[in-house]
Amino acid sequence: MRTKRGYVYRRPVKRSHYSNFRRQMFITLFFIAAFAAVGYFIYSGLRRPQAKPVTSGVENVQITGNKRTFTNDYFQFEDTGTWSIDKNNSTANKITYLEYRKNQLEHQMVVYINQVPIPLYLAAPRVLPLRIINDNSFQATNVSSPCGSTYPKGALHQVKEVQIANATMLCDPDSPQYMVVLSEINGDYRLHLKRPNGTPIQFVITYKDDGLASQPNSLINIANSFHTR
């Protein structure tokens, strides 16, 4: 039987208002859950520890006279400048030291520990020949002139190993930088030393001078005072 409102006997009543309410409730719960998930991921990201480069756990500086002694877990050296470890460019197998003057980067020293860098980071135009003393320190000579002078006239200037003062280096003959690699006389740039407890350790050391008037003084100081730890 049909009424004025359209009701038919024994047919279910369409509760449109209830259906709309239920749909709105589901939509509301969906957005609440979505916002909660986003908030959780943001919170988790903020709480997650930031990855830090693994490097020497100890960095000390001692001042004696006009020289400072810079110490880490693997070695120490002296210089008149102020050096600091660049932690963003240091790892468990590489320690990068920087030296500034009036906020201007002047010197960079990279020490590779028990690894040899790829030629891009190893090739240099100059070498510092040295002797290894007591398996734990160096005796330096003088920084060489650019290694490109060792190439025969007309020879292709490619990066290759050459010998200067009986020390082998990977020569970059056309580099305009004042970059130096340390190399053992009658040996090469793989510097084999020992730590105080007798453990063997290998260093590959490169040095770059970005100053306007490049001088070897700082590098000579470092090499002659270098000592394993």
- Are residue 179 and residue 104 in the same domain, yes or no? yes
**Which phi and psi (to 5°) does residue 29 adopt?**
-65, -35
Domain count, the chain: 2
- Are residue 179 and residue 113 in the same domain, yes or no? yes
| Inside any domain, residue 152 | yes
pTM for this predicted structure: 0.75
Start-to-end CA span in the chain (Å): 102
Contacts of 207 (CB under 8 A, 6+ apart): 107, 108, 109, 110, 128, 179, 180, 181, 182, 219, 222
Q: How do beta strands 94-101 and 104-113 pair?
A: antiparallel
Contacts of 128 (CB under 8 A, 6+ apart): 140, 141, 142, 143, 144, 180, 181, 182, 183, 207, 216, 219, 220, 223
| Inside any domain, residue 165 | yes
| Inside any domain, residue 151 | yes
- Are residue 31 and residue 93 in the same domain, yes or no? no
| Inside any domain, residue 211 | yes
- Are residue 175 and residue 103 in the same domain, yes or no? yes
- Are residue 36 and residue 94 in the same domain, yes or no? no
| Inside any domain, residue 222 | no
**pLDDT tens for each residue of 54-89:** 445 556 777 766 899 999 999 999 999 999 999 999
pLDDT score at 160: 98
pLDDT beneath 50: ranges in the chain: 1-4, 7-9, 13, 38, 41-43, 45-46, 48-55
- Are residue 194 and residue 94 in the same domain, yes or no? yes
Q: The domain containing residue 42 runs over which residues? A: 14-50
Contacts of 129 (CB under 8 A, 6+ apart): 140, 141, 142, 144, 164, 165, 166, 167, 183, 184, 185
The number of C-alpha atoms within 13 Å of 115 and in the hemisphere containing its C-beta is: 13
Of the candidates 33, 83, 172, the one whose C-alpha atom is nearest the C-alpha of residue 180 is 172
Q: Report yes or no: 82 and 68 within 8 Å, Cβ to Cβ.
A: yes
Of the candidates 101, 95, 18, 14, the one whose C-alpha atom is nearest the C-alpha of residue 59 is 95
pLDDT score at 202: 98
| Inside any domain, residue 167 | yes
Helix runs in the chain, H state only: 16-47, 119-122, 217-225
Q: Count Cβ atoms within 10 A of the Cβ of residue 81 and give its class: 0-12 exposed, 13-18 middle, 19 or more buried.
A: middle
- Are residue 125 and residue 211 in the same domain, yes or no? yes
pLDDT score at 212: 81
pLDDT score at 101: 87
| Both structure tokens of 159 | 């990066």
- Are residue 178 and residue 98 in the same domain, yes or no? yes
| Inside any domain, residue 75 | no
- Are residue 29 and residue 132 in the same domain, yes or no? no
Of the candidates 167, 132, 128, 138, the one whose C-alpha atom is nearest the C-alpha of residue 76 is 138
| Both structure tokens of 128 | 């510092």
Q: Report yes or no: 159 and 121 within 8 Å, Cβ to Cβ.
A: no
- Are residue 116 and residue 18 in the same domain, yes or no? no
- Are residue 45 and residue 122 in the same domain, yes or no? no
- Are residue 196 and residue 128 in the same domain, yes or no? yes
